[in-house]
Amino acid sequence: MPGTGITVTRHLASAERHASLAADVRTGLTANPRELPPKWFYDATGSLLFDRITRLPEYYPTRREHAVLAANAARIAAACPATTLIELGSGTSEKTRLLLDALRNAGVLRRFVPFDVDEETLLRAGQDILRSYPGTSVHAVVGDFERHLAFLPGSAGGDSGSAGGMAGDRRLVAFLGGTIGNLRPETRGTFLRALRDQFHDGDALLLGTDLVKDPARLVAAYDDSAGVTAAFNRNVLSVINRELDADFDLRGFAHVATWDPENSWIEMRLRSVREQEVSVRALGLVTRFGADEQMRTEISAKFTLEGIRAELAAAGLGTSAQWTDPDGDFALTLAVPA
Ligand code: AVJ
């Protein structure tokens, strides 16, 4: 983007994104039980709805994580005086600023690398940061962190040429919001191992995770009284209607949120309120939903402090520090190559 001072690397073109949605929807709608991956919630409407979720009285994770980060940002910058802050899944600009401020105050910050599937979100976040942190360069990366992690700027497989690499570069990778909980345990392991494989000495991961607590509070956070989470959940059907020429009737699907104590995760589902037929024209697919049939749309795993350390250790990452908010609702973990 000439003139803006933002460098953009694209690993995900819109045609590829479309093909990946089509494949996920075909697989998910023909599976038994049916399931749609949560990454497709986030079009412009879905991102707005998520933003409203973060301000709901029942949805504590965003406020709690902000509190842990505000209390410990200086310690994080001291433990990992990074020249580059990489943020996986952006759009959390307020929290990003706490980290950028701490790294700037430590006198080390040179570059911000937001990594997200949505180019528009990235450019908006990048512009804001560029204005507020003069002298800091912004390198936006459009990609899916489950697939393009090998290409982080400054890593062995990535941009280590004159454009992307920097001598003496030390990277802090922030993966906040509890988003790692949206991955299944096996996928989390693969993801963490891939990240660890990109790390050089001195690089670190800052991981935000929601913690196990009273199930009533957990369920309320995913089934708010204003119905915002319900609208967010149903929004995946609008995305499929628009992008794959489908005819889901959003009124025909009810929001469900349950706590699964065996798997230690919240599960969101859409329940077909009647028997109905849905056609997805772009896939040449017509399918019947039975009355009360449920389709899973998201898991959101909740962790224990020891459990987080164990998952990191299994991926070759050692925990150097762990913090929670005063109520013990949410954790930040700083990890380095073991
Ligand atoms: C912040 C993306 C992890 O799982 O809590 C919020 C998404 N889903 N309400 C979460 C979400 C329902 C959220 N993440």
Question: Who contacts 284 (Cβ-Cβ below 8 Å, separation ≥6)?
Answer: none
What residue owns the CA closest to ligand 1's atom 3?
179
Pocket test for ligand 1, best of 179, 229, 266 (most atoms within 8 A of CB): 179
Rounded CA separation 120/138 (Å): 14
Q: What does the pLDDT profile of the chain (338 residues) look like in tens digits?
A: 444 689 999 988 888 889 999 999 999 999 999 999 999 998 889 989 999 999 999 999 999 999 999 999 999 999 999 999 999 986 656 789 999 999 999 999 999 999 988 888 788 888 889 999 989 999 999 888 888 887 788 765 444 443 455 667 999 999 999 999 999 999 999 999 999 999 999 999 999 999 999 999 999 999 999 999 999 999 999 999 999 999 999 999 999 999 999 999 999 999 999 999 999 999 999 999 999 999 999 999 999 999 999 999 999 999 999 999 999 999 999 999 99
Cα 61 to ligand 1 centre (Å): 9
User: Rounded to the nearest whole angstrom, what is the distance from the C-alpha of residue 176 to the centroid of ligand 1?
Assistant: 11
Backbone angles phi, psi at 34, to 5 degrees: -70, 155
For a ligand 1 pocket test, name from 298, 302, 303, 329 the mutation site with the most ligand atoms within 8 angstroms of its C-beta. Answer: 298
| Ligand 1 lined by 301 (C-beta under 6 Å) | no
Element (H, E) at 6: strand 6-10
CA of 221 to the centre of ligand 1 (A): 9
Report which DSSP code applies to 156. T
Ligand 1 near 62 CB (within 6 A) = no
Q: Give ∠ CA 302-24-28 in degrees, rounded to 5.
A: 75
35 C-alpha to center of ligand 1: Å? 17
- Provide the 3-class DSSP secondary structure of residue 258: strand
Phi, psi of 41 (to 5 degrees): -65, -30
CA 61 to ligand 1: nearest atom: 5
